[in-house]
Amino acid sequence: MGALPFLARAATLGERRFLFVFCDGGWDPTYALAPLFGHPYAEMDGGGEVATLGGLSWVDGPDRPAVSDFFRAQAARSALVHGLEVRSVAHERCRRILMTGSAGEGVDDWGAVLGAKAAVERVMPHLVVAGPAFSSRYAASVVRAGRGEQLPQLLGGWSRLDSDLTVRGPSAGAAAAVEAALARRLERQLEQADAQSAAVARGALDALERAAVLEQRAGELDFGAGEDFDDQWATAVECLRTDLCRCAMVRFAGLYNLTFDTHAANTLQASHFELLFQSLGRLANTLDSTAGPDGLALSESTTLVVISEMGRFPMLNEQGGKHHWAFTSALLWGSGVRGGTVVGGYDDTMQSAPTDLTTGEVSAAGEPLTAAHLGATLLALGDVDPGEVGSTPPLSALLDL
Amino acid sequence: MVIAPLVWWACAQEPTPEPGPTPLDAPRLLRRASLDLRGVLPSTEELEQVRADPAALDGLVEGYLDDPRLEERVVAWLHERWHTRVDGFSAAWYDYGLDARDEVEFERAVGEEPLRLAAAVVVEDLPWTEVVQADWTQANTLLLEIWPLEVLDTGEGWRRARWTDARPAAGVLVSNGLWWRYPTDLFNLNRGRASAVSRLLLCQDLLAGPVRASDPLTLLEGGAEAAIREDPGCQGCHSVIEPLASALFGFHWVDEYAVEEMTRYHPEREPLGALLLGVEPAFYGEPTADLAAVGAAVAASEGFEACAVQTFAEALWRRPTGTSDADTLHTLRGQFRAGGLRVRALLRSIVSGAEYRAGVVQEGEALSRRLLSPELLQSAVEELTGFVWTAQGVELLDEDERGFRTLAGGVDGEEVLRPQSEPGLTWALALRRLAEGAGEHLARRGFEQGEGPLAGLGGARPGDAAFDAAQEELIWRLWGRAPSAEDLAEDQALWEEVQVLDGEQAAWAALVSLWLRDLDAVTR
């Protein structure tokens, strides 16, 4: 058993932060995360073999060495969750279920909830640099950066904005005067309006104040992320470092942005996982070497949540690909995560194996895992009572609080 | 006198007054209705008319229902539900040899085609069933150039056209725009599209339920196709999905990225549905010979009628409907049916109701404050100031590749499926920049070009008759209410502060931008 060079510690100061990495398209866990060799139905890549370090097992393959590089370095801080049921095979619906626990509209994803319920008020409670986001009740806590650097443009004012009609923009003094006048007006309306109107006024005033703070600090940030994954998470890390956000979402789309949706040529999963884990390795190192607002390494207070909206059908189809599968895996890393842990599994039919939530082991007395279990776990990590959002308990086997 | 039974029945279905929210005052309500039904602010004369005589409001609103600008509103409402005004499709402008500058125009034309068809049904006061039975569609000049269409109406802009590629008469069910937005592939075989038909036109979301086979071994050993046909757990939904999907094979694309495949209908492929899915086309158990028959079956279904009521109620109430709305929706449905399934009659019923007219809400689901959507914000701003926020001709509040549609609370149809109902950070920022641009533009028009409501105000100061008149006129027009004493005092202080800093033109720009960001400007 290899030495575990690092033990995850609970954040000693402040709140836990979250960085969500959404791997678009529905990955095949058997290519990297779930070594199901010998499974009666799972067709494994012929070149792969199981690798183990501590309590963690993964798939090592010659065409994706970055996976093993990552786990050999990070096993002590990593946990895998297997057999998460997303109850659908439609991409959009699976995303919603994975990230909110529900198929319906009018729900909030885990980042929005964690951002909204943070004990510390932040300018951007949940920053969506790229990737999906679902918000309803906590929509005001979600800030989208925009597909084409729109947020920095809005922050930069008319020196950065484009318009066919000439606009120079107000002077700094005039702009400040208007902002102050608007704030006074909204505060007055807070006092005079009916309850519902007051809520809107309060939201507008809150947005105004947060925008002002972000505007002052805009020069410190580089929101120029675009589609490059490393640029995206660099932006997210910077916002976590400066405590501008508690949660951030980024999107990984794989080699040539083909995504993990390999209905044909499932071997592309190797390329996608190779690139993903190369970048995750850099991200982990960055979090280790970047001090957070409390002076400690960001890795001390940040939980990385690496997810994909669905899995892949266990067997190959006629095109050498794999279709959709309603069960998937997730990787958690960092703060509050019990490293070297594997929770859940796939039963003989590649569905969620009943799991003891306390030990994480497959057990006939346990329960099948769903996206709601993952969400409850994240909420628990974030000091939010999972009962506030639903009735599903967290995977306490994952928690190192 | 014998009253025709239908009329008697319709009269008997008049909504009885019900306790609930306090109604909004007449000018503000007129503003709400004008923005909702025409996309523009009411004129000063209209506001004055209802201020003097609140009873005049209903007559004015009735006129709004006849306004041709209702078409744009229907397009906007239906996009929030059908999600077709997206910023990209599998086929692109270059596939048709268009210019790069036509990219957004191309995307909007494609995405709006089904919405324009539906809007035409509303504006022309046709029965809503025409949406799934029309033997025509709507097309603009760009679509007429690239798609197999023959124009039926002369004129500019969106007009009636007919497909020339033998697609059946089934309204939006044979719309290129709809099926480009909801593509399929050789594995999915139109099942996703069948689900879209159910969700969009019947308000039945077949994906809301869990996807779970009763016997996983059927799935694993036979594959998904076998499970779909044999497993009871799968059949729960697929007994509906498969036959409906089977009817859509005229849109079966051998190459899902080939523009030639995507452009035209393929009648020769219609039989492939039964061949590949193993079921004959049908709609909820009723055999359908072709898509035209599917359209007829959809039109005759209870769900279609109920879904129309729900769709337009949610559009105007600006919130999802729920169980607490059951009675109201039932009443509206009766009125809709009594009106021959004409949507304008339905709209009339909705805007006449307490829910829509809510001003002060103490309890219940009604909203007293509803954020303006980005396109309404732009419309109101443009009308008042002349400022349209475009860049290289692209309306920046209507697009997301370069623009601020979702950041300003709008729907992109792919990741953001519902309009934002609360203020947020990016909403505040987008609104600020819009207001700054509009304020500056109006002031420039007045002071440098001598036009618009600020013309001739050089040298006027707060307290001067001209200054005060212009201030009150603009606020009245924008907010639908007169400014309060506190409003005027704040305005005066702001104007004087900025006037000292940057001069009177900048001071007016600041004032206008402040008014545009007031709650009464950004909500309705």
pLDDT digits (tens, 9 = 90+) for B264-282: 999 999 999 999 999 999 9
The candidate with the shortest Cα–Cα distance to B201, out of B125, B266, B117, is B117
Question: In this predicted structure, what is the pLDDT of residue B21?
Answer: 74
- pLDDT for residue A226: 66
Asked whether the beta carbons of residue B425 and residue A173 sit closer than 8 angstroms, the reply is: no
Tell me the C-alpha distance between B229 and B271, whole Å.
19
- Tokens describing residue A199: 């809520």
Partner-chain contact B514 A151, CB within 8 Å: no
pLDDT of residue B3: 38
Which tokens in the block code for residue A338?
């019990």
Chain B positions touching A351 (Cβ under 8 A) are 216
Q: Which residue of A has its CA nearest to B191?
A: A90
Cβ of A87 within 8 Å of Cβ of B211? The answer is yes
Q: Are A116 and A383 in contact (CB under 8 A)?
A: no
- Distance to chain A for B449, nearest Cα, Å: 14
Residue B99 has pLDDT above 50, yes or no: yes
The pLDDT score that the predictor gives to residue A197 is: 84
What is the rounded average pLDDT of the residues B498-512?
98
State the nearest Cα–Cα gap between B36 and chain A, in angstroms: 19
Q: How far is A68 from chain B (nearest CA, A)?
A: 30
For residue B386, give Cα distances in angstroms to A80, B130, B137, B439, B451: 57, 37, 33, 10, 11
Which of A154, A189, A206, A215 has the most B C-beta neighbours within 10 Å, making it the best mutation to test the interface with B? A154
Residue with tokens 């102050």: A180
Q: Which residue of B395, B425, B447 to mutate against A (max A Cβ within 10 Å)?
A: B425
Using an 8 Å CB-CB cutoff, list chain B residues near A139: 420-422, 424
The DSSP result for B238-254, as a single string, is HHHHHHHHHTTGGG--S
Whether A251 has a pLDDT exceeding 50, the answer reads yes
Question: Of A162, A199, A351, which has the smallest distance from its Cβ to B216's Cβ?
Answer: A351
Chain B residue numbers with beta carbons less than 8 Å from the beta carbon of A162 are 391-392, 396, 402
The first and second tokens of residue B421, run together, are 């109902």
pLDDT (average), residues A275-299? 96
Give the pLDDT confidence score for residue B20 in this predicted structure: 65
Taking alpha carbons only, the member of B458, B446, B456, B464 closest to residue B512 is B446
**Rg of chain A over CA atoms, in angstroms?**
22
CA-to-CA distance for B153 and B138, rounded, in angstroms? Answer: 10
Decide which of A209 and B7 is more confident: A209
Distance CA B299, CA B126 (A): 13
- Which of B470, B407, B420, B410 lies closest to B442, judged by CA? B470
A193, A207, A349 ranked by CB distance to B220: nearest: A349
Beta-carbon separation of A139 and B424 below 8 A? yes
Give the DSSP letter of residue B135: S
Contact assignment for B403 to A150 by CB distance below 8 Å: yes
Average pLDDT over residues B69-98: 97
Which of B187, B444, B490 lies closest to A323 in CB terms? Answer: B187
With pLDDT > 90 as the criterion, what percentage of chain B qualifies?
Answer: 85
Q: How far is the CA of B345 from the CAs of A15, A260, A366, B12, B331, in angstroms?
A: 54, 48, 56, 16, 13
Q: In this predicted structure, what is the pLDDT of residue A224?
A: 62
| pLDDT, position B19 | 55
The Cα A249–Cα A114 span in angstroms is 12
- Which residues, other chains included, contact B500 with Cβ-Cβ below 8 Å and sequence gap of 6+? none
Q: At what angle do helices B302-317 and B291-300 cross, to 10 degrees?
A: 70
- Give the residue from chain B lying closest to A326, CA to CA: B211
pLDDT tens digits, residue range B361-409? 766 677 778 899 999 999 999 999 999 999 999 999 999 999 999 999 9
* A200 token code pair: 């809107």
> Does the pLDDT at position B1 exceed 70?
no
- Given A161, A163, A207, which is nearest B428 (Cβ)? A207
Q: Give, to the nearest 10 degrees, the angle between helix B26-38 and helix B44-52.
A: 140
| pLDDT tens, residue by residue, B462-482 | 999 999 999 999 999 999 999
Q: Tell if the CB–CB gap between B425 and A207 is shorter than 8 Å.
A: yes
The nearest alpha carbon in chain A to B490 belongs to A181
Q: What percentage of residues in chain A have a pLDDT greater than 90?
A: 82
A211 and B432 in contact by Cβ < 8 A?
yes
* Whether B425 and A204 lie within 8 Å, measured CB to CB: no
* Tokens encoding B253: 């694309």
Segment holding B349, helix H or strand E: helix B343-352
pLDDT in tens, A178-193: 999 999 999 998 887 7
DSSP states of A337-355 as a string?
B-TTEEEE-B-TTSSBPPB
Query: Cβ–Cβ of A326/B212 closer than 8 Å?
Result: yes
> In which band, very low, low, confident or very high, does the pLDDT at A6 lie, cut at 50, 70 and 90?
very low
φ and ψ of A104, to 5 deg: -80, 170
Using a CB-CB distance cutoff of 8 angstroms, which residues of chain B are in contact with residue A136?
418
Q: Which of A144, A158, A208 sits opposite B436 (nearest CB)?
A: A158
In this structure, what DSSP letter does residue A101 have? S
Q: What is the pTM of this model?
A: 0.92
Chain A neighbors of B426, CB-CB under 8 A: 143-144, 146, 150-151, 154
**pLDDT at residue B223 in the model:** 86
What string of DSSP letters covers B378-414?
HHHHHHHH----EETTEETTS-SSSS-TTTTT---SS
Distances (CA, A) of B426 to A136, A220, A222, B509, B524: 16, 18, 17, 22, 20
Beta strand A327-334 with A324-325 is unpaired
Please answer whether residues B471 and B483 qualify as being in contact, where contact means their C-beta atoms are separated by less than 8 angstroms: yes
**Closest CA–CA distance from residue A350 to any residue of chain B (Å):** 8
Asked if B367 and A195 touch (Cβ cutoff 8 Å), the reply is: no
Choose between A286 and B19: higher pLDDT: A286
**Eight-state DSSP code of residue B19:** -
Q: What would the mean pLDDT of B273-293 be, rounded to a whole number?
A: 95
By DSSP bridging, strand B394-395 and strand B390-391 are: antiparallel
Please, which residues have CB within 8 angstroms of residue B277's CB and are 6 or more apart in sequence?
A: B189, B242, B245, B246
Q: How many CB atoms lie within 10 A of CB B148?
A: 16
pLDDT score recorded for residue A401: 80
Q: What is the mean pLDDT of chain B?
A: 93
Query: How confident is the model over A52-79, as pLDDT tens digits?
Result: 999 999 999 999 999 999 999 999 999 9
Closest CA to B173 of B87, B268, B247, B72: B247
Q: How far is CA B11 from CA B3, B55, B339, B351, in A?
A: 10, 21, 11, 18
- As beta bridge partners, residue A19 has A248, A304
Q: How far apart are CA B335 and CA B348, in angstroms?
A: 10
Chosen for mutation from B429, B499, B522 (greatest number of chain A CBs closer than 10 Å) is B429
Contact call for B207 and A142, based on CB within 8 A: no
Cβ–Cβ below 8 Å for A196 and B368: yes
Nearest CA in chain B to A151: B426
Min distance B294 CA to chain A CA atoms (Å): 24
Q: What's the burial of A153, exposed, middle or buried (CB within 10 Å: 0-12/13-18/19+)?
A: buried
pLDDT at B256 over 50: yes
- Region A308-329 average pLDDT: 96
Is B77 a residue whose pLDDT tops 60?
yes
Among B422, B429, B439, the residue with its CB nearest the CB of A154 is B429
Kindly list the residues from chain A whose CB atom is less than 8 angstroms away from the CB atom of residue B401.
147-148
User: For position B362, what pLDDT does the model report?
Assistant: 67
Q: Is B4 exposed, middle or buried (0-12, 13-18, 19+ CB in 10 A)?
A: exposed
Radius of gyration of chain B (CA): 26
Query: Whole-angstrom Cα distance, residue B161 to residue B117?
Result: 10
Residues 6 or more apart in contact with residue A219 via CB below 8 angstroms:
none
The partner residue sitting opposite B211, judged by closest CB among A89, A150, A207, is: A89
Which residue did the predictor score with more confidence, B176 or B16? B176
Q: State the pLDDT confidence band at B7, using cuts at 50, 70 and 90.
A: very low
Select from A88, A181, A210 the Cβ nearest to the Cβ of B490.
A181
Facing B368 at nearest CB: one of A89, A147, A194: A194
State how far residue B223 is from chain A, nearest Cα, in angstroms. Answer: 9
The pLDDT of residue A8 is 31
Residue type, A241: R
The pLDDT of B71-88, averaged and rounded, is 97
Nearest to A326 among B211, B425, B429 (CB): B211
Q: Which long-range contacts (CB under 8 A, 24 or more apart) does B116-120 make?
A: B116/B71, B116/B75, B116/B158, B117/B171, B117/B172, B117/B175, B118/B74, B118/B78, B118/B171, B118/B172, B119/B70, B119/B71, B119/B72, B119/B74, B119/B75, B119/B78, B120/B71, B120/B158, B120/B160
Q: Grade residue A1 by pLDDT with cuts at 50, 70 and 90.
A: very low
For residues B208-230, give the mean pLDDT. Answer: 87
Nearest to A174 among B360, B371, B510 (CB): B510
DSSP string, B418-433: S---S--HHHHHHHHH
Q: Residues B167, B172, B173, B175: what is their CA dihedral angle, to the nearest 10 degrees? A: 50
Among residues of chain A, what percentage have pLDDT more than 70? Answer: 96
Q: What is the pLDDT of residue A119?
A: 92
**A109, A129, A188, A197: best to mutate for the B interface, most B CBs within 10 A:** A197
**A357 falls in which pLDDT band (50, 70, 90)?**
very high
Nearest to B369 among A90, A157, A197 (CB): A197
Residue with tokens 């001090």: A291
Backbone angles phi, psi at A325, to 5 degrees: -145, 140
Kindly report, residue by residue over B433-451, the tens digit of the pLDDT: 999 999 999 999 999 999 9
Mean pLDDT of A20-37: 98
Which residue of B407, B423, B486 is in closest CB contact with A200? B423
* Per-residue confidence (pLDDT) for residue A11, from 0 to 100: 43
Contact call for B513 and A350, based on CB within 8 A: no
Which residues in chain B have their CB less than 8 angstroms from residue A210's CB?
425, 428
Q: What is the ipTM of this complex?
A: 0.91
Q: Which residue of B has its CA nearest to A203?
A: B423
Residue B147: which of B167, B124, B122, B168 has the closest Cα? B167
SS3 for B139? strand
Supply the pLDDT for residue B11. Answer: 44
**Nearest chain A residue (CA) to B436:** A169
pLDDT at res. A219: 80
**What's the pLDDT band for B101 if we cut at 50, 70, 90?**
very high
Nearest Cα of chain B lies from the Cα of A25 at a distance, in angstroms, of 14
3-state secondary structure of B37: helix
pLDDT at A111: 98
Chain A's closest residue to B234, CA to CA, is A88
Amino acid type, A104: G
- Taking one residue from A and the other from B, the number of pairs with CB-CB distance under 8 angstroms is 214
The SS3 call for residue B264 is coil
Chain B neighbors of A190, CB-CB under 8 A: none
Q: How far is CA B306 from the centre of its chain?
A: 18
Confidence of residue B9 (pLDDT cuts 50, 70, 90): very low
Q: Kindly indicate the confidence band of residue B10, based on its pLDDT and cuts at 50, 70 and 90.
A: very low
What confidence score (pLDDT) does residue A5 get?
25
How far is Cα B410 from Cα A254, in angstroms, rounded to an integer?
29
Helices and strands: H and E segment counts in chain B: 23, 9
